[in-house]
Amino acid sequence: MIAPLLALALAAVDPCAPVQPVPPDPVTAQAYREVADAELAAGSRDTAAAAYRDALARDPSDEASRSALQRLCAAHGPDPFQDGLRRMDAEDLPGAARAFEAAFAADGNASAALLGGIARYELGDDEAAERLLRAAERDPAHREEARFYLGLLALREGDGARASSLLEGAATNPALASPALDLARLARRDGRVVLSLVAESGWDSNVNLGPGGPDGVAARSDGTAALAASALWRPRGARGPYLRAAGLLHNLATLDVYDLTGIEAAAGWQLRAGRHGAAAEYEYAHRTLGGDDYLGAHRLLASGWLRRGRAVAAGSYAVRFESFAGGWSPFSGVLHRAEARATLDATPRLRLGLAYAGGRDDARESVLSYWEHGPRAEVRILLGRARLGVDLGLTLRAYDVFDEALGARRRDTYLDGAAFVEVDLADRWTARAGIIGRNARSNVDALAYDKLAPSVAIGYTLGL
Amino acid sequence: MHALALALALALGAPDGGAEAHLLAGAAHFRAARYAEALVEFRVAERLGEREAAAYAGAALVKLERWDEAVETFETAVPGGHPLHDYYHALACYGARLYTCADRLLADVGDRSGPRIAEQARGVREEIARALSAPPSETSLAWYRARCEARRAEGRTALAAAYCREADALAARRVGATRAAGVDTAAAPRNGGGP
């Protein structure tokens, strides 16, 4: 979008440089002056300056060219707009923003207002960004680009209705239509309050993680049905505090002992400043299994991210204090998990991600405590109203001590895979089909298993 | 870019001090990537009577990414028949988002301009095919029509006509796509089962 403006930096002609005379030729000089006048009328000051210089070189008595060149020279000075372009090209966003603001203040240049607004948006200075983008919006040449970024600002503020309206306005420009309409659709699901409901049905090839799961018997498959609901309240949009609550029902067709219910509530705070951000969250979760109390857990989470161009580096750490009920109580303890992640928007429609995670489960029973770590790769593809995703992960887990019951110090390797396709059926309705799978290997043969679980789901999301 | 300047220099031969000298000076600036200066020389040559200079000015405007002016210049230039002119004309259309205009010109460039340009033309046509893969929306058509009206109001009739032609071409694609979808729907099973 800004490439044509950046190209101007390559075409600079100095109108203040001395003019070297050439053999007089008033006829040709007049042609140069006419070209210069036309270029100036078209707003091309560099080309106009070059032509006026040629006119003056061939006709030193040409006062019209001389005075036009003097005006261009006086206006030339240190050009803050060109300075802003150079700084933006060098990713000096604060410097670029200041330069564009100076250019806008000097002559009301709408291009400077647009680029200054974009720089301020990237820096997270939303108030200044909105002021500049509103100014750029008044110029028909930049109206759609300005509305696109004003829509992004509204999204960041959590004002989904205003964001979708602005993005639809931006979509009248064919070059922006695709991203703007995609974002407008997402904006209608966004807001300061977001409610969602997902119904899912599927099949699980190995509910009991056989042959070595809790029953110690062969794998048993079953049909599944699930319902999940969540509510998010963020009074200041994507930045600031938020509260979240969610509930989950996951029932099996015949193996009722594995029916799962869950509720969770969380409170957090997200900070965003330009190309980096951080979040902290507390969450309480409770689960029942087969109708009985199973788990109560308190989790603290901290995460941060940093964007550079099309790449994002992120890190997170979570600690969960787990309290299992009844016969599961030996699993109680403290679970730590840390992850480093890098993602790259290889193209506007293709995102690649690579992560490495490590975890430590410090269980009450040392025989159940372990360290684990491993890589994970993700691919996300945007195809119009559909999104495709493929994940692949490897986890190496080593338990702390020799388990006399197993006759071994357990070491497991998990290969996990997932694939899904998600389609926006309407503004707030989404259909999803996916499959997850795991190949678990262990030095204890009875604890090795395979699992496949395909599912289809439909979801409704409402942003207010 | 060098190919255009070279073609120009070969076509003109030695300068005779008139419009051709300015064409050659423009070609020299063009070759040195001084496109603003090249544009000035081509425009002066045009004013001194060199009718073919307009197409070269169009190429310089493409390099300066002044798409609308480039399209306008090519649309009003005397047809020279040089495949490089068509190539730059196509780039001007592409830059101005006149995709069907660009595609039509590039299809005609073919291999007439040598393997390097032909390869670049193929690449641009692939990008155009991706851009045109979905039927155009009503908002897109409205955008082209609004541009057409705006340029006409400015008195830039050739440029306005280019935008109107694009709107018409896209509207035709939209009708074609709708009909194709209708045929598919009619032929598809309606009971949810396979054939």
- pLDDT tens readout for residues A114-123: 999 999 988 8
Rounded to whole angstroms, the Cα distance separating B151 from A358 reads: 61
Tell me which residue of B70, B159, B118, B42 sits closest to A4, measured CA to CA: B70
| pLDDT for A178 beyond 90 | no
Nearest chain A residue (CA) to B21: A28
DSSP B135: P
Which of B44, B69, B128 should one mutate to test binding to chain A, selecting the residue with the greatest count of A CBs within 10 A?
Answer: B44
User: How high is the pLDDT of residue B147?
Assistant: 86
> What residues of B are in contact with residue A172 (Cβ under 8 Å)?
139-140, 142-143, 146
User: Looking at residues B164-185, what average pLDDT do you find?
Assistant: 64
Using CB atoms, pick whichever of A13, A28, A31 lies closest to residue B36.
A13
The amino acid occupying position A167 is L
Whether A42 sits inside 8 A of B137 (CB atoms) is no
Summarised one tens digit per residue, pLDDT across range A93-126 is: 889 999 999 888 877 888 889 999 999 988 888 8
Whether A32 sits inside 8 A of B39 (CB atoms) is no
**Percent of chain A scoring above 90 in pLDDT:** 49
Rounded to whole angstroms, the Cα distance separating A56 from A32 reads: 9
Dihedral in degrees, nearest 10, Cα atoms B105, B106, B108, B111 = 150
Q: Within an 8 Å CB–CB cutoff, is residue A50 touching chain B?
A: yes
The amino acid occupying position A259 is D
User: How high is the pLDDT of residue A410?
Assistant: 92
Distance from the Cα of A143 to chain B's closest Cα (Å) equals 12
Place of tokens 């425009």: B43
Phi and psi torsions of A363, nearest 5°: -80, 160
Asked whether the beta carbons of A171 and A444 are under 8 A apart, the reply is: no
- Helix-strand-coil split of chain A, %, nearest 5: 35, 45, 20
User: How high is the pLDDT of residue A50?
Assistant: 87
Q: Write out the two tokens for B39.
A: 């544009």
Which positions 252-311 of A are in contact with B (Cβ < 8 Å)?
none
Rounded to whole angstroms, the Cα distance separating A293 from A285 reads: 12
Cis peptide before A211 (omega within 30 of 0): yes
Asked whether the beta carbons of A430 and A458 are under 8 A apart, the reply is: yes
Q: What is the pTM of this model?
A: 0.59
Distance from the Cα of B22 to chain A's closest Cα (Å) equals 10
pLDDT band at A352 (very low <50, low <70, confident <90, very high): very high
Q: Go through A324-341 and write b for each residue having 16 or more CB atoms within 10 A of its CB, e for each that does not.
A: bbeebeebbbebebbbeb
Rounded to whole angstroms, the Cα distance separating B23 from B29 reads: 10
Phi and psi torsions of A136, nearest 5°: -65, -35
User: Looking at residues A451-458, what average pLDDT do you find?
Assistant: 96
Using CB atoms, pick whichever of A4, A39, A42 lies closest to residue B65.
A4
At residue A399, the 3 state secondary structure works out as strand
Q: Within an 8 Å CB–CB cutoff, is residue A43 touching chain B?
A: no
Tell me which residue of A148, A147, A87 sits closest to A119, measured CA to CA: A87
Residue A215 backbone zone (phi > 0: left; psi -120 to 50: alpha; other: beta): alpha
Nearest chain B residue (CA) to A47: B36
Whether A28 sits inside 8 A of B48 (CB atoms) is yes
Rounded to whole angstroms, the Cα distance separating B167 from B161 reads: 10
Using CB atoms, pick whichever of A28, A35, A172 lies closest to residue B143.
A172
> What residues of A are in contact with residue B144 (Cβ under 8 Å)?
174
pLDDT band at B111 (very low <50, low <70, confident <90, very high): low
Q: Write out the two tokens for B195.
A: 């054939």
